[in-house]
Amino acid sequence: MTRGGIAEPVPSVSEESRSSQRQKGSVARILNEDTPLTPANKAAKLSSDASEKGDLSMPAKVDMDKIVSLCKRRGLIFPSSEIYGGLASCWDYGPMGVELKRNVKDAWWKAIIHERDDVVGLDTSIMMHPGVWAASGHIDSFTDPLVECKSCHLRWRADTIEGKGCPKCGGELTEPRMFNLMFKTSMGPVEEEASTVYLRPETAQGIFVNFDNVITTSRKKLPLGIAQIGKSFRNEITPGNFIFRTREFEHMELEYFVKPGTDEKWLDYWVKERFDWYAKLGIRKENLRLRQHGKDELAHYARDCYDVEYLFPMGWSELEGIANRGDFDLIQHAKHSGRELSYYDAEAGEKYVPYVIEPSAGVDRSVLAFLIDAYDEEEVEGEKRTLLHLHRSLAPIKVAVLPLSRNEKLTPLAKEVFNKLCPNFVTDYDDSQSIGRRYRRQDEIGTPFCVTIDFESLEDKQVTIRDRDSLAQIRVPIEGLDKILEAKLKGEAFDASPLWATREKK
């Protein structure tokens, strides 16, 4: 990470110590992959797992530096304001990164909204009435304990450090003081008259304050979910580990409103749904686990909470939290706004304040987990090949059209193929450098299929499709190329023996 400019020094140890601290607590409940999630067995099963599996740290498959370097090299993620020396914990998504990030958000939106009839979407503003944050408890409670080293003046989150001294220089630390993580700004053109507003630290409150609007306009009954994706801001004391913890990031949040009494059932349901979502998109199950929050660890609004954790290079860390928020938020907003926020169940003839189950995920943290899990290095004919085994739906580019060389005879046909494919798939066209280098580039950004146009193509009107993972190749007519790619991108098997050996020898 490049630091400097106006950026403050950022200690780098934070996440490791934070995750190990958590695991040490006797309160952590670790579920293994096949623990059935039913209320009946939950308590017994979880507590017995906790002691045996409190520390599952394994050697990381890839270190973070390799991921950061690949991201820079291939236009996925750049340090923000790099030409000015960068700004701590801020990152920019490059041409490939923005596609990957959009695909992650689209996959979430599809699974949460489009493939169901009980969830609707929303897009609320980042700045909200300050009363929202008083009601939600963020002004009083969204704080971390901060200590400062009296010698080197580095600042630390008190709950993430072990021992008494500064982790950097061993110097004496100040007493902890509570530090509010919300960013403040002023609204209005005249500074003295401007009012203080906050940049939202979560998107959830935009959903709660619109509960009534959505219920009265959507003609939906409970259980009903309202979901949104958007930027959140937290003035984290110790950001770090690339895009794992930053001060500006994107949330994907669902607030699922249910009848009180059915909340535990729905919590179980959503924990399983969300765990499976990561697995369906290619994350290996052995790198995922669930952790139930202990009673003393629960946020002020939560009745129960599970984290989906991923085995990041710095250890097991939270990927997503799924909380039972009870009726805390609707009650608070009703109290502070004076507006009634309840639901009338016409069939049962009763009125109640719904409970809320909240799966809350980070877009950037998910992107990081998908990248890490997809990263692979292998040897092909004595040469190292780096590749991303990204799920087809997440890969930034689906198909790369690669004429064997930049040649006046090949170019028109290659362009014709590109023009045929690009309305249907995100397609790249590349005719510079050797074909081997171009394959390597596509492998490193996780492109599932390369289509090669060679001199035989001019005669037989056929092209070669190369599969990223197996390196198998098949020759197909240009005529039906789009249909074949469509089927393969939907998961149809790539039915050919690996031909890279023969191809290399040609």
Residues of this chain that interact with ligand ATP (CB under 6 A) are 202, 234, 236, 245-246, 249, 251, 318-321, 360-362, 364-365
| Residue 290: CB minimum distance to ligand ATP, A | 13
| Residue 299: CB minimum distance to ligand ATP, A | 8
**By three-state DSSP, how is residue 93 classified?**
strand
Neighbour order of strands in the sheet with 304-312? 29-31, 288-292, 304-312, 315-326, 355-362, 248-258, 224-233, 119-121
Environment class of 350 (CB within 10 Å of its CB; exposed 0-12, middle 13-18, buried 19+): exposed
| Residue 172: CB minimum distance to ligand ATP, A | 27
Strand runs labelled E in 75-180: 77-79, 91-93, 119-121, 143-148, 155-157, 177-180
Which backbone phi and psi does 362 adopt, to 5 degrees? -100, 130
CA 196/CA 364 separation, integer angstroms: 28
| Residue 28: CB minimum distance to ligand ATP, A | 13
| Residue 283: CB minimum distance to ligand ATP, A | 14
Q: Which of 234/398 has CB closer to ligand ATP?
A: 234
| Residue 149: CB minimum distance to ligand ATP, A | 22
Looking at 151-262, list the stretches that DSSP marks H as alpha helix, in order from N- to C-terminal side. Answer: 204-208, 211-218
Q: Which of 155/245 has CB closer to ligand ATP?
A: 245
Please identify the residue of the shown chain whose CB is closest to the bound ligand ATP: 362
Q: Which of 251/398 has CB closer to ligand ATP?
A: 251
| Residue 201: CB minimum distance to ligand ATP, A | 8
Strand runs labelled E in 363-442: 375-380, 383-388, 399-403, 427-429
Tell me the pairing of strands 304-312 and 224-233: unpaired
- Cα radius of gyration (the chain): 26
| Residue 308: CB minimum distance to ligand ATP, A | 8
Which backbone phi and psi does 182 adopt, to 5 degrees? -80, 140
Q: Which of 91/266 has CB closer to ligand ATP?
A: 91
- Please tell me whether the peptide bond between 39 and the residue prior to it is cis, using omega within 30 degrees of 0: no
Q: Which of 245/391 has CB closer to ligand ATP?
A: 245
Environment class of 62 (CB within 10 Å of its CB; exposed 0-12, middle 13-18, buried 19+): middle
| Residue 232: CB minimum distance to ligand ATP, A | 7
Q: Which of 274/333 has CB closer to ligand ATP?
A: 274
Q: Which of 268/320 has CB closer to ligand ATP?
A: 320
The CA-atom distances, in angstroms, between 282 and each of 104, 276, 362, 369, 389 are 12, 10, 17, 10, 8
Q: Are the C-beta atoms of 199 and 183 separated by less than 8 Å?
A: yes
